[in-house]
């Protein structure tokens, strides 16, 4: 896909040709375009008459903005868990493994198996703002010490200062996903 320096116009066109970017045209969409990520594919939703070729410069800018906030690699997730453990738990809560998964149901953002120390994070969070993902990881790290959602657990998980903001963000994100599915 993109290079380390970001997307070029040729990168975008090649990714479309290879199917790494799927263009979905909709008669219901009149003016706007959007890009989302579905595991290993970007989905570009456009009006029926939208010309990718005529708009390649603005599309390239859009993909570069998306890439700037993308933290979807496995290494990024491991690094984030290490950073959050150091920052909020003095480095003592470390997962045995942490990875992206595609089998989390629509109401679950992540899960932890306390007996093995494994954390799984929904791929749907790959493009949320970093601070939102941080709160989810802190929440799951807290489960490594306290399993159930008790008062003590929340005191530990709420060490991230934007935990309440992230809950609001994720509630809206989830509502948007339901809206998109119901259309």
pLDDT tens digits, residue range 106-115? Answer: 778 999 999 9
CB neighbour list of residue 17: distance below 8 Å, 6 or more residues apart: none
Range of the domain at 28: 9-68
Residues 79, 159 within the same domain: yes
Residues 94, 177 within the same domain: yes
Residues 109, 142 within the same domain: yes
Residues 162, 108 within the same domain: yes
The H or E element that residue 99 is part of is strand 97-101
pTM score over 0.75: no
Is 54 a member of any domain? yes
Residues 42, 56 within the same domain: yes
Q: At what angle do helices 56-68 and 9-18 cross, to 10 degrees?
A: 90
Per-residue confidence (pLDDT) for residue 4, from 0 to 100? 46
Q: How many domains does the chain divide into?
A: 2
Is 4 a member of any domain? no
Is 2 a member of any domain? no
């Amino acid at each position: 896909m993109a290079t380390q320096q970001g997307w070029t116009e040729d990168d975008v066109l090649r990714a479309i040709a290879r199917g790494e970017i799927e263009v979905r045209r909709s008669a219901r969409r009149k003016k706007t375009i959007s890009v989302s990520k579905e595991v290993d594919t970007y989905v570009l939703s456009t009006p029926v008459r939208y010309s990718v070729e005529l708009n390649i410069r603005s599309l390239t800018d859009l993909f570069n903005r998306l890439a700037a906030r993308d933290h979807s690699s496995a290494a990024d997730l491991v690094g984030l868990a290490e950073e959050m453990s150091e920052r909020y738990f003095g480095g003592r809560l470390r997962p045995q493994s942490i990875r992206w998964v595609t089998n989390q149901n629509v109401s679950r953002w992540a899960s932890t198996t306390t007996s093995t120390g494994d954390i799984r994070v929904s791929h749907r969070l790959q493009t949320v703002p970093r601070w939102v993902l941080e709160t989810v990881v802190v929440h799951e790290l807290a489960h490594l010490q306290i399993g159930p959602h008790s008062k003590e657990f929340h005191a530990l998980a709420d060490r991230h200062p934007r935990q309440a903001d992230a809950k609001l963000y994720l509630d809206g994100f989830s509502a948007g996903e339901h809206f998109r599915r119901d259309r």
